[in-house]
Structure 1
Amino acid sequence: MRRARSTAVLAMLLAGAIGVIASTQTWIDVTLDDGAQQTLAVPGAEALPVLTPLSLAALALGAALSIVGPVLRHVFGALGLLIAAFVGIGTAQILLATPVSATAATVTDATGISGTDAVASLVRDLALTPWPAVTLVAQIVLLSASVFTLVTARRWASGASRKYRTADETGGDTGRPHDAIDSWDDLSRGDDPTA
């Protein structure tokens, strides 16, 4: 089951990293009907404002999943499902409908005109780049990794390495000599390591 943990962790990290990268890339090219037919690039972070924070959260979940115990594995799997669903639905809406509202912030910054109807009247054409599709695939990977985590997490080997567990969790005697790290751990717990 060590491979199962590694697979879930790497998939979550990959999905989070792709989301962060996609948030900085152009998702929609907007051509304005302003006489000059100006074209504006709308980055993923403006088209879908929750993309960056939720992708960073997916990265954090993947990193933490490598050391947590069984209960938190299930909590993190459920959180991964929510993130994948939320970002995936938002991305799918942009892919399927290409709403003018996804471009509103960029158009307002460029023209100073705000309001959905006013922005819509300025937009002549919208063209999607491949990044929304890439992001949707990443969310499917995150969704799969989250479901895989929920199904297999109970059978994974113990979450934390020995240095992150207490003596009670390791059964007290580890079968090896007491070393400097153990002495520091004893001192941290308030025990006298010289006794």
Structure 2
Amino acid sequence: MSRRPADPRERQSQPPGRLLRRGSVVLGIVVLALVAFGSTTQTWLVVRLPQEAVQTPDLMIAGSDAATPVTAFALVALAAAIAVSIAGRVARWIIAVILVLSGLGVMLSSAGVALDPAAAAEPAIGAAVGVSGLPGAESEATVLPWLAVAAGLLLVLAAVWVILAGRRWGINRRYDAGRTGAGTEAHGTLPAAPRPSTGDIAPGVVPDEDTGPTARAGRRSTAHADEIDSWDELSRGNDPTG
């Protein structure tokens, strides 16, 4: 028994897979943004100061101090994730661009700290001991800057995820109803409005229009008035036909 080929319309009506659902995409972007943001609250740099020069314990520099832009870019990505939940077709492209920019910002800022921890630690060292560029200070980056780099890269890929998955998302029913009503009115399929009333017709007056219940009532009123006039003429002894 041969199988009937699948109808393309049936394939389009099938619900998208789990990874292509709007909720899954939103949740994934939120997790990536929170990973990048949460990493900045932890220690990114460990600075060992020379104890013979300054009696200061080692400095633990958080990511928010070592790379302030990472926090801002992560918040932008989080806002973009929330916007995906209500975005339409055009808005999804704008959100994808925002995700690419925020992901690149997280990557570049985090990689700068991981590759050059000494330069990233100088502002914190100057604030702690009052001397910028203290000789003998050793700065070491933890693994968290690289974790933020990975989160930034995944945010860039999430922009592609939004575009590809968005093709399977349906139109928001709330706004679709409004578009349907507007399209029906534009194509003239709404019921026609009732014709305005022509008002009362005086006896003996025949309306211009020859159709409709009002015109028929006017003709009946005129015929009845003519009959009354004929009987009046006869009662006076006059011949109405003369």
Task: Specify the TM-score bucket, using the shorter chain as the normaliser.
Answer: 0.7 to 0.9
Identity of aligned residues (%): 26
CA distance in 2, matches of 1:70, 1:2: 19
User: Structure 1: 5+ residue runs without aligned partners?
Assistant: 174-195
Question: 1:10 aligned to 2:10?
Answer: no
Which of 148, 166, 169 matches 1:156? 169
| Alpha-carbon separation, structure 1, partners of 2:155 and 2:87 | 18
Equivalent residue in structure 1 for 2:157, among 137, 140, 144 = 144
Q: Number of paired residues?
A: 163
Change (3 A) 1:151 1:166: closer
Aligned equivalents of 1:31, 1:45: Cα separation in 2: 19
Q: Is the 8 A contact 1:46 1:106 kept in 2?
A: yes
Q: If you compute each CA radius of gyration, which structure gives the higher value, 1 or 2?
A: 2
TM-score by length of 1: 0.74
Whether 1:55 and 2:74 are equivalent positions in the alignment is yes
Per the alignment, residue 38 of structure 1 pairs with 57
Q: State the TM-score, normalizing by the size of structure 2.
A: 0.61
**Offset of residue 143 of structure 1:** 1.5
The Cα shift of 1:167 comes to 4.4
Contact 1:11 1:142 in 2 (8 A): no
Structure with greater helix percent: 1
- Alignment-derived partner of residue 109 in structure 2: 90
Residue 76 of structure 1, CA deviation: 0.4
Amino acid in the other structure paired with 2:39: A
Q: Which has the higher contact order (CA 8 A, sep 6+)?
A: 1
- In the alignment, structure 1 residue 80 sits paired with structure 2 residue 99: yes
In structure 1, the residue matched to 2:217 is: none
**2:178 paired with 1:168:** yes
- Structure 2, unaligned stretches of length 5 or more? 1-15, 183-242
Distance 2:66 2:139 in 1: 12
